Structure 1
């Protein structure tokens, strides 16, 4: 078990889940350490994600905590190992930590659900559209940071390609289609790209049109990342102050319900694509 001060989001989540298992078992860190043959400090470090822990040790801890959910234990064991140096780590020193963690979350997700009201979803943005939105940041970002964020956003989109592309479902409000970031040319190209991407087998884009008022409103984009088992799902929210990550059972249930209701109020994929193209013609 090696020290890992700069733990990844994945390792931090593993630690959180192990802590939850211990607490459900009604054990203190001291009692858990005795069963493991270690010290309370080791348990604390594991639960804080500061140590890279082995799959065997995770299974031992799960057995000590009387966890009988084998699929869940297998998923936890799959989250172990030394630090994963994904491409996003190149940005760790130049972008806010929350943004970098989003890429790691998307990389590990088995499926993604997104809802946006005022901007296009980041995974389906063109470079020019992304650049236009970042230029509106308050306080204003320096030009070099805008370009870092644009390149980062485009690289995140790799999860939608390859031999095993991640399934993506997007709910977008008509207001986002008509916001006009970057001017007419940029908006038209963005809408065309959105319609084109919606035709991919792994991507579904549905639009809530103006006039549909009966749905749960969220002023911030919602990303629901599915894990290998539902207990390991994560919700990510963009806020004015950065990225929030939620994984409590009640929070996951809430946002599953929100997304289900939003999708139920949206047009069908074909109708949504037609609306996107009509809006592009009007720009």
Structure 2
């Protein structure tokens, strides 16, 4: 069994879920090892994803832990069996690993739901808008680093327009629509792009207006990716110090509620589109 170097967040999730199943079954790593006929170190390495784990081993461990959620077991086994390298791997030596994890999360999501208060969601940005944002990163990025990030961000958008067309809901505050990153022309082109994106059948854009009621948020972007089963949902938070990944059950429930409450104060899709049209007209 080969040691796995720098596993992605998705592959680390397999080990984390196996650990949760073991703990839920009330078994220690040592007890699990004895039942499986292996060493405690191997169980720990599987759970930490230092070793790869086969789909068959995933099913064996889940059975041993009396897991009755067959959909969860099947989903974990499918994740373990997957060996295809995604397009994002070409950026592995050029971008922070968390950006690659974000692309991988979006690629495998059953549906996506995001919320942004200050910025246009990344999957809805034009190259010029994205480039303007990356020019403001602190510490400053070099030009080739900016171009790598712009290229990566635009390629991520294939989940909306490619063969799969993942269902996507974006909750965007009016403040984000009025920001003019890159200047008036770039901002106007971005809003026009937003209108066109909202016409796609799998894309829903809902605006939180300035005159709306209060809602829970820290101002950070929230990307909620629905997995094949709710237990495999993932949240990525876009904070000032980088991307944070959230996948514990209680945290997932919290962010589902946060997004529900944010959506409850949005305009409907048609009214949102009309608001964006007015902003374009006023520029």
Q: Provide the TM-score with structure 1 as the length reference.
A: 0.97
SS of corresponding position for 2:199: coil
- Structure 2 partner of 1:234: 234
Q: Does 1:103 align with 2:103?
A: yes
1:52–1:82 Cα contact (<8 Å) kept: no
SS of corresponding position for 2:218: coil
Matches within 5 A, 1:1-283: 1-81=1-81, 83-283=83-283
Separation in 1, partners of 2:79, 2:51 = 13
Separation in 2, partners of 1:82, 1:268 = 39
Q: CA deviation at 1:82?
A: 5.8
Q: CA deviation at 1:100?
A: 1.2
- Unmatched 5+ stretches in structure 1: none
Separation in 1, partners of 2:101, 2:10 = 9
Deviation digits for residues 170-191 of structure 1, max 9, x if unmatched? 0000000000111111001000
Deviation digits for residues 242-266 of structure 1, max 9, x if unmatched? 1100011111011000101111100
1:58–1:76 Cα contact (<8 Å) kept: yes
- Unmatched 5+ stretches in structure 2: none
Q: CA deviation at 1:37?
A: 1.6
Q: CA deviation at 1:38?
A: 1.3
Aligned structure 1 segments of 4 or more residues deviating by more than 6 angstroms: none
Separation in 2, partners of 1:244, 1:9 = 11
Separation in 2, partners of 1:90, 1:58 = 29
SS of corresponding position for 2:205: strand
1:117–1:218 Cα contact (<8 Å) kept: no
Separation in 2, partners of 1:81, 1:49 = 14
Separation in 1, partners of 2:67, 2:206 = 39
Separation in 1, partners of 2:35, 2:79 = 22
SS of corresponding position for 2:271: helix
Separation in 1, partners of 2:96, 2:135 = 17
Q: CA deviation at 1:84?
A: 3.6
Task: Indicate how the Cα distance of structure 1 residues 165 and 82 shifts in structure 2: closer, same or farther if over 3 A, else same.
Answer: closer
Separation in 1, partners of 2:2, 2:217 = 45
Separation in 1, partners of 2:277, 2:42 = 57
Separation in 2, partners of 1:163, 1:105 = 17
Deviation digits for residues 51-86 of structure 1, max 9, x if unmatched? 221111111000110111111111111111364411
Give RMSD over aligned pairs. Answer: 1.1
Q: CA deviation at 1:274?
A: 0.6
Which has the larger displacement, 258-267 or 81-90?
81-90
